[in-house]
Structure 1
């Protein structure tokens, strides 16, 4: 085990000390909560109770307190009240979850430390679903479909391989939207105006409308537009606030319920995000380089960063409730188009000019995905509850990259001559992914209090990559030109399992023990001038978990805890050959991740509630990674924290004439993280804490006005450090302190 280097930049240490700045306050408030619980155990007001949260994580409706999964639920009401419209704004408040944000619509989710690199993300270890269909495909980051008019967000921790399949070995994030209803017309509008520290003005809004079209048919429309100013200056080009973000999008959902047994939902989602990576960098000056400083919020680049991400998603979900089971047919077709403008010069050892990565026309990637799922779920009085399903996914991806040098003649990597307008990379790929799976679960009622569930999924996974073009200078140097016209493929069959024992001790005490497995798709390494073609298999992970969920004080207090041990084998890690220095992914690692998660929610009075949650873990490699240049036995896993905590409080005070004052505060602490296994990058990323606050007035049932502060402490987060060349580092960071006003109207 090595002692990992800490970031030594003085300015970074000054603005981001590795300590929890509000932990004394959190501890004090937690003590007050504990004291109040004891003081009011036999006192008045026992009729108070927290609202039960119903989830569908197990494909059946059940309360979160009686579901044998470690699950956190973020209500749509809480998202709306706090003006949270992006999953990245709430991830750090979920125990055991870390978010790595690289800019708009680019948020990588790590659950329970299941990650192997911040630099080479590989396939995803967490899957993201919107309602009942996957939107994350196989990529490592999930599209940030805006959280507008939502019922809730469910975060399921631990492998969910039997019901959700590939990429669910760390966990699942599910966005559950509000559905159309035919009972009445309703609508709502919300607008905000704010200002960002070191940036400028922001404005935006969203709205929804529920429109009955008869007794059995209803339409629900959602629209949104957010225009947020940038906060990072490109000092080389003399441009201020270069990372503006503009998001427009909407949803249309049509629900038809002709009988009590039949429900048909047709929905369409569109979203377009324009912006730039929110990154700071090393600064080149005539007197020498200045190390990056996230608090300084500046960068250098030979061209203004830009990126555009468009999503079109169409989904059909038909459910029919037969006497003994419910049948569901789910069909999804989606398309994602992505294009970027950025400078790649630092990768080839240049500090001037521009190795400009952009296309004159077209997109850098186009991903077309079609998914079909059939699911049967038992209902009624069966001796054994059951679920059975079949799943088919096909994804076709076309990518292209064009990198050209603009500037004075220079030597790339110290020996490759470049002239103005020369083409370094001109490559195109066609990628294919197919997965076919069958899955099922059997639930046995061992007694009135005990249930045993056994689950299994069998998946056939195929992946291919065809080189269509490679004609740039670097394509020829690294041997890629010789691969044009060739197709490389891999296929494997993967099995995942689930064993779950649930026991209801009393009406307010529920326990479970489980063993579940998950996997991440395998792949291959292209042949190079110094290394042959090679494949790597899916890595596997087993999660062993016990949990207790309790409801106390007449339902006013919920206290939950889960302890787990993750056994991760055949990890996909990058290995560097000690002779040729060729890098390739291989199944070489093994890791263990023991951890503990807890949450407390307490309804102190009619007008005040608090919550406190957190996680502790100790992830580490159990063996050295071959080659001697990467991970060592005892190293922590990169990207996610060993500890995180969250504290929230909500206060309300009724006023005459149907008005109400309200205030809320949300504090999140994320501990230190290892940046990467790579010996040049195995620094400790500083801990950080974020504080959001809000206060306002509700007027009747229709209007509200509030003031809000996001990142009130003005914390500058270092999500990761990407070393792009000798001494040059690029670091994504978060939005600074933002103060604003929002207005809402519902009818």
Structure 2
């Protein structure tokens, strides 16, 4: 039973039902609204089970507790019943349908009542004063093959994912893209797992979404709450927490293949187990998965050389010692291994000339601890985590490696190691119309990168070694105040002290070293208007920064400072979010971004990826999304985004024929439809989706620039669900297109040949999930 209560004296208990208070609450999650009412009127308010996932209506005026509860619960399908003079019970009513979050069928974005905790407060998508989206995977998600960031990018127009292959992709939001290359520069989008940041530089960890409750995408700079490097936004995965009371488990197996590929079948499986060790107090939740994709590129006379294996698992232990305290510890690991690269040298083909295999491997190991509990009328959250990311890439070096002095080069290798330690303590609270979050954080990132060259005779030459240590000590606060009934203002700021120690050693050349100490303030402000429960209009201004890096184009001699000044980015956006019948949602927003001292990863003359100051950029963009139910059993959703992102101040040292920022397409349009119906004693769903992605480009450098052509992505799916079983089929790239998704694979050959990363051919996947 969920309960909101405060200490009661006999006098207050007798007087509570007649006491009148002025109360001013916007539309909030029911649990939060009830907590405020209970505190305001000194009463106990409970409900059987957990608080329902619904949004309470706004409450305004001088009201008794009964009037306040009736106002909050109107049109919700729930009602308040007085148990005695000091106790109220919230119960489901039969007079109106409950406005619940429906269980997800295929993974999909849902309505505005979804919680968004990436703001470090319990907000809802309806009241979020910024661009953002929530993808709920739902209770049935564990019975399907796991998704990844690429699948979500196909459903969210504002999210761009680009890269040459598995484990090498980068995430971009709102057109904030600096480079197509995975260099040492911190990424523009932070990847967050629950409360822990699990990435900083280079490619994003492509964590499979097994036993994940939802994914939250917050667009625009998030420097106030998340600190350095969050120029474009955050991508946050929220796991399913251990259930202290109920044992459960499920497993899924899948298999399939790729049209025209002769590398054997695809296949894999996943399993989830939840065990209450001490019922009501301690529980353990374990997740494991393994996936094999056979590949589709023909190279060196062999078929399907680019096969990929992904394996991982997660273990979570939760304890509730009492007094509303909860302790959770998490261990997670994942590895991605690819036998060969996935690029070719001509468009509309899956075959390339003979060359050495280019295997790659990436891994992530993570440990986290979170403690939550009451602090006065609010909540205290303490988190600490340690994350290790390793990447090993191998490239054919028989061409393009002449600058390194090895007479008979065979393989060029890149190794990166990144260790993150993320710590934070924060408190959240509310007092009437005011709510806030405030805290302090400290994170440390140790990054190392090494390039080497191996000859055909086995000789190995080291090319460079980069070591960097980045740390940030910060305090932050963000507060929201509702005023004049329908208005809300949000103000936030982060004060940080940042340190950067970086050394680049090149054998036979000067060693560059930089030590930076800097203080930064990252403010944000938002104003939102809620004329009615279904409508939100917002305006927001937010900032973020990124620490400078060693610019390898600037020599350290002659008193030059080889360090780029570091990025400073500010975004202003306007938007409106409208909900309507059938869990429908319409969102339209526009943004303007000024990006000064933009740091970018580029290729040096010797074809090694290096970081340098590119200049300043300006981004103007707009996007929209809509989802609605046109008829019973139907669900339709669509979205679009357009970005005009250009370099307006050029620091690259050469003239530019094209000033567009790399990777991000000029436009993206998406449309999907799903039909649900009953059949064979179960529930079936059929769906189809398409996404048109506009043209993009690879690089600022005219010698390296390659066009990324427009492409159309199509897919269909079907499934049937019974009480314990889910059977599904999915067909991707239904039209079997061969369009280019990226224009880069091997840095050594990029200046002398065009490279294309083709779409995976038509692929069919069958799955069967079971839950006892």
Whether these two folds match at TM > 0.5 is yes
Deviation by residue 1:499-524 (Cα, 9 ceiling, x = unmatched): 11122110111111111111222112
Higher RCO, 1 vs 2 (CA within 8 Å, ≥6 residues apart)? 1
- Distance in 2 of aligned mates of 1:714 and 1:577: 37
Equivalent residue, structure 1, for 2:72: none
Q: 2:298 pairs with 230, 233, 236, which one?
A: 233
Equivalent residue, structure 1, for 2:589: 562
Equivalent residue, structure 1, for 2:41: none
Equivalent residue, structure 1, for 2:187: 124
Equivalent residue, structure 1, for 2:206: 144
- Distance in 2 of aligned mates of 1:326 and 1:400: 44
Against the structure 1 CA distance between its residues 393 and 299, is the aligned structure 2 distance closer, same or farther, given a 3 Å change threshold? farther
Gaps of 5+ in 2: 1-95, 102-112
Q: 2:308 pairs with 241, 245, 254, which one?
A: 245
Against the structure 1 CA distance between its residues 567 and 332, is the aligned structure 2 distance closer, same or farther, given a 3 Å change threshold? same
Q: Which secondary structure state, in structure 2, belongs to the residue aligned with residue 57 of structure 1?
A: helix
- Distance in 1 of aligned mates of 2:290 and 2:409: 33
Against the structure 1 CA distance between its residues 623 and 429, is the aligned structure 2 distance closer, same or farther, given a 3 Å change threshold? closer
Give how far 1:254 is off. Answer: 1.1
CA contact (8 A) 2:143 2:770 kept: no
Q: 2:129 pairs with 48, 56, 68, which one?
A: 68
Give how far 1:259 is off. Answer: 2.5
Matched, 1:55 2:116: yes
- Distance in 2 of aligned mates of 1:98 and 1:117: 13
Equivalent residue, structure 1, for 2:392: 339
Deviation by residue 1:555-584 (Cα, 9 ceiling, x = unmatched): 442111111111222222579999x99998
Equivalent residue, structure 2, for 1:287: none
Q: 2:419 pairs with 368, 371, 374, which one?
A: 368
Q: 2:677 pairs with 638, 643, 653, which one?
A: 653
Q: Which secondary structure state, in structure 2, belongs to the residue aligned with residue 346 of structure 1?
A: coil
Deviation by residue 1:458-501 (Cα, 9 ceiling, x = unmatched): 22222223357x5xxxx43xx2xx42xx7433332222110111
Matched, 1:279 2:301: no
The residue correspondences of 1:14-53 to structure 2 (distance < 5 A) are: 51=101, 52-53=113-114
Equivalent residue, structure 2, for 1:456: 493
Matched, 1:541 2:594: no
Give how far 1:366 is off. Answer: 2.9
Q: Which secondary structure state, in structure 1, belongs to the residue aligned with residue 540 of structure 2?
A: strand
Deviation by residue 1:34-91 (Cα, 9 ceiling, x = unmatched): xxxxxxxxxxxx9696733222122122221121121111111386577452111221
- Distance in 1 of aligned mates of 2:429 and 2:327: 19
- Distance in 1 of aligned mates of 2:254 and 2:609: 48
- Distance in 2 of aligned mates of 1:584 and 1:717: 29
Give how far 1:631 is off. Answer: 6.3
CA contact (8 A) 2:198 2:420 kept: no
Equivalent residue, structure 2, for 1:41: none
Deviation by residue 1:701-731 (Cα, 9 ceiling, x = unmatched): 1012122102222233433334634522333
- Aligned alpha-carbon RMSD (Å): 3.0
- Distance in 2 of aligned mates of 1:574 and 1:190: 40
Give how far 1:628 is off. Answer: 2.8
- Distance in 1 of aligned mates of 2:146 and 2:483: 43
Equivalent residue, structure 2, for 1:502: 528
- Distance in 2 of aligned mates of 1:213 and 1:683: 57
Equivalent residue, structure 2, for 1:729: 754
Matched, 1:637 2:667: no
Equivalent residue, structure 2, for 1:14: none
- Distance in 2 of aligned mates of 1:582 and 1:177: 38
- Distance in 1 of aligned mates of 2:154 and 2:125: 20
- Distance in 1 of aligned mates of 2:647 and 2:464: 36
- Distance in 2 of aligned mates of 1:103 and 1:674: 17
Once structures 1 and 2 are overlaid, which stretch shifts more, 643-652 or 301-310? 301-310
The residue correspondences of 1:682-697 to structure 2 (distance < 5 A) are: 682-697=705-720
- Distance in 2 of aligned mates of 1:228 and 1:335: 25
Against the structure 1 CA distance between its residues 332 and 263, is the aligned structure 2 distance closer, same or farther, given a 3 Å change threshold? same
The residue correspondences of 1:335-734 to structure 2 (distance < 5 A) are: 335-348=388-401, 354-358=409-413, 364-379=415-430, 381=431, 384-406=434-456, 420-425=457-462, 427-466=464-503, 475-476=507-508, 479=509, 482-483=510-511, 487-526=513-552, 528=555, 534-553=562-581, 555-573=582-600, 587=613, 589-625=615-651, 627-630=653-656, 635-655=659-679, 657=681, 659-699=682-722, 701-722=723-744, 724-725=748-749, 726-734=751-759
CA contact (8 A) 1:490 1:524 kept: no
Q: 2:237 pairs with 140, 163, 175, which one?
A: 175
CA contact (8 A) 1:48 1:556 kept: no
CA contact (8 A) 2:310 2:336 kept: yes
Give how far 1:154 is off. Answer: 1.0
The residue correspondences of 1:194-213 to structure 2 (distance < 5 A) are: 194-199=256-261, 200-213=264-277
CA contact (8 A) 2:502 2:550 kept: no
Matched, 1:89 2:154: no
Equivalent residue, structure 2, for 1:107: 169
Could you tell me the TM-score, scaled by structure 1's length? 0.82
Give how far 1:111 is off. Answer: 0.9
Against the structure 1 CA distance between its residues 564 and 82, is the aligned structure 2 distance closer, same or farther, given a 3 Å change threshold? farther
- Distance in 1 of aligned mates of 2:602 and 2:718: 52
Deviation by residue 1:530-571 (Cα, 9 ceiling, x = unmatched): 995511122111111111111123x44211111111122222
Deviation by residue 1:600-651 (Cα, 9 ceiling, x = unmatched): 111234421111111122222324445334466xx22111012111112221
Matched, 1:262 2:325: yes
- Distance in 2 of aligned mates of 1:719 and 1:357: 24
Once structures 1 and 2 are overlaid, which stretch shifts more, 440-449 or 59-68? 440-449
Equivalent residue, structure 1, for 2:364: 311
- Distance in 1 of aligned mates of 2:401 and 2:463: 16
Against the structure 1 CA distance between its residues 83 and 574, is the aligned structure 2 distance closer, same or farther, given a 3 Å change threshold? closer
- Distance in 2 of aligned mates of 1:584 and 1:192: 41
Deviation by residue 1:319-342 (Cα, 9 ceiling, x = unmatched): 111222211110001222333333
Gaps of 5+ in 1: 1-45, 283-291, 407-419
